[in-house]
């Protein structure tokens, strides 16, 4: 009994402590922590990994204990309910409401302007929140529940995001996987400037031009997949692996592991990394990056790892007109696309994507 009380007292103290990560100010005047816990469980050889228990809920609780105050999630991850329970547990118990940033994302099947607010309300119900701190458009392209493309322009979807903010359902709004041209288009139409751009960012995909643009226009950058494919032994095409001699030597120099070096580098480059894990030790390690700084020469070494290598190119959408990434000739693809006319509207269907369970996404229908 005494042992249990002692353990709980430590957890209460940890939760009640301020977050470990410094705050960054957004262009709308709000702030958010400079590291977030990712809650996407990833993919396996059979497709997207779905939760089988309460692993995400436990991971979020560990994250709060470790000092995280920023949780990144999405409807398509199928873990918003677990995130919501964990956030509510901690926020209610330790009055952390204004210290926690919760960032969900709008999925591709709700791109009509009138569908955005209902989609966010559905996420809020799962998250057990009245509003979120930051809501992101997950992709600039839309896709219906049957797999056919939705050609709603991303500017119309963005107007729906603005509607959600006007209703105080989210404090800040941003985008994910937009390129520079798309960001410029938002500005050209004099719409609300995104507070945040979330993109893939790691040492093999550093996107210096896009980062410079965001710095120029005061758009904060969040980086998903901060380790790229470095730790994925199945990715033989990865230009860098976690046991790279330069990386291991650098980690030993600072008394850190390679993952901590990569996360620290992201922060120093102005990127808010989103490491994901459901392992307690890794969750604690990943936030332990605010007690050292990289020397300039080490940052020069890390810059040279940039290969423009995209870990998640989402090739199944490459023929959508709003596909945001470069269409490299060496990208492998096995899907075949056909065009059909349905009520005078052309819709592109990727046969390979619809029939291949490993590539098929999970969708939901929203009644508008």
- For the domain made up of 2-310, give the CATH fold: TIM Barrel (3.20.20)
What's residue 349's pLDDT? 25
| C-beta separation of 167 from 205 below 8 A | no
Q: How far apart are CA 24 and CA 35, in angstroms?
A: 10
What's residue 355's pLDDT? 29
Give the active site residue among 77, 154, 265, 309: 77
Q: How far apart are CA 299 and CA 302, in angstroms?
A: 5
Domain ranges (residues) in the chain:
2-310
By CB atoms closer than 10 A (0-12, 13-18, 19+), residue 344 is: exposed
What's residue 262's pLDDT? 98
Q: Sort strands 23-25 and 31-33 into parallel, antiparallel or unpaired.
A: antiparallel
Q: How far apart are CA 320 and CA 143, in angstroms?
A: 9
CA dihedral 308, 309, 314, 317 (to 10 degrees): 40
Q: How far apart are CA 48 and CA 359, in angstroms?
A: 8
What's residue 278's pLDDT? 92
Residues of the chain short of pLDDT 70, as ranges, are: 1-17, 42-51, 97, 329-368
| Closest by CA position to 283, among listed 83, 44, 39, 13 | 39
Q: Is 254 among the catalytic positions? A: no
How many alpha carbons fall within 13 Å on the CB side of residue 249? 6
| Closest by CA position to 309, among listed 324, 333, 331, 276 | 331
User: What is the per-residue pLDDT across 153-167, written as a single tens digit (0 to 9) for each?
Assistant: 999 999 999 999 999
What's residue 185's pLDDT? 98
Distances (CA, A) of 334 to 253, 309, 351: 44, 19, 10
């Amino acid at each position: 009994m005494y042992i249990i009380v002692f353990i709980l007292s430590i957890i209460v103290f940890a939760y009640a402590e301020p977050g470990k990560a410094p705050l960054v100010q957004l262009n709308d005047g709000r702030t958010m922590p400079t590291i977030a816990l990712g809650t996407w469980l990833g993919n396996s050889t059979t497709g997207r990994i779905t939760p089988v228990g309460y692993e995400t809920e436990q991971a979020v609780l560990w994250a709060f204990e470790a000092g995280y105050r920023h949780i990144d999630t999405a409807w398509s991850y199928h873990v918003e309910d677990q995130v919501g329970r964990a956030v509510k547990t901690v926020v209610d118990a330790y009055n952390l409401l204004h210290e926690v940033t919760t960032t969900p994302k709008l999925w591709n099947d709700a791109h009509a302007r009138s569908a955005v607010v209902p989609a966010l309300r559905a996420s809020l119900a799962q998250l057990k929140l009245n509003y979120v701190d930051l809501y992101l458009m997950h992709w600039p392209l839309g896709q219906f529940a049957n797999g056919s493309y939705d050609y709603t322009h991303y500017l119309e979807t963005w107007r729906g995001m603005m509607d959600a903010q006007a209703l105080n359902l989210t404090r800040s709004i941003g985008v994910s996987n937009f390129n520079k041209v798309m960001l410029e288009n938002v500005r050209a139409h004099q719409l609300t400037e995104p507070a945040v751009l979330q993109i893939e960012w790691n040492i093999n995909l550093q996107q210096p031009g896009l980062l410079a643009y965001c710095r120029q226009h005061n758009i904060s950058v969040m980086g998903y997949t901060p380790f790229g494919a470095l730790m994925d032994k199945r990715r033989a095409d990865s230009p860098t692996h976690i046991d790279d001699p330069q990386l291991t030597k650098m980690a030993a120099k600072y008394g850190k592991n390679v993952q901590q070096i990569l996360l620290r580098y992201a922060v120093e480059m102005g990127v808010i990394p989103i490491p994901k894990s459901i392992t307690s030790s890794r969750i604690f390690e990943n936030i332990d990056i605010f007690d050292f700084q990289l020397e300039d020469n080490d940052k020069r070494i890390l810059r040279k790892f940039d290969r423009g290598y995209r870990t998640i190119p989402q090739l199944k959408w490459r023929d959508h007109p709003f596909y945001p990434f470069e269409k490299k000739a060496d990208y492998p693809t096995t899907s075949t696309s056909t065009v059909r006319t349905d009520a005078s509207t052309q819709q592109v269907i990727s046969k390979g994507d619809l029939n291949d369970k490993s590539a098929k996404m999970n969708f939901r229908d929203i009644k508008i």
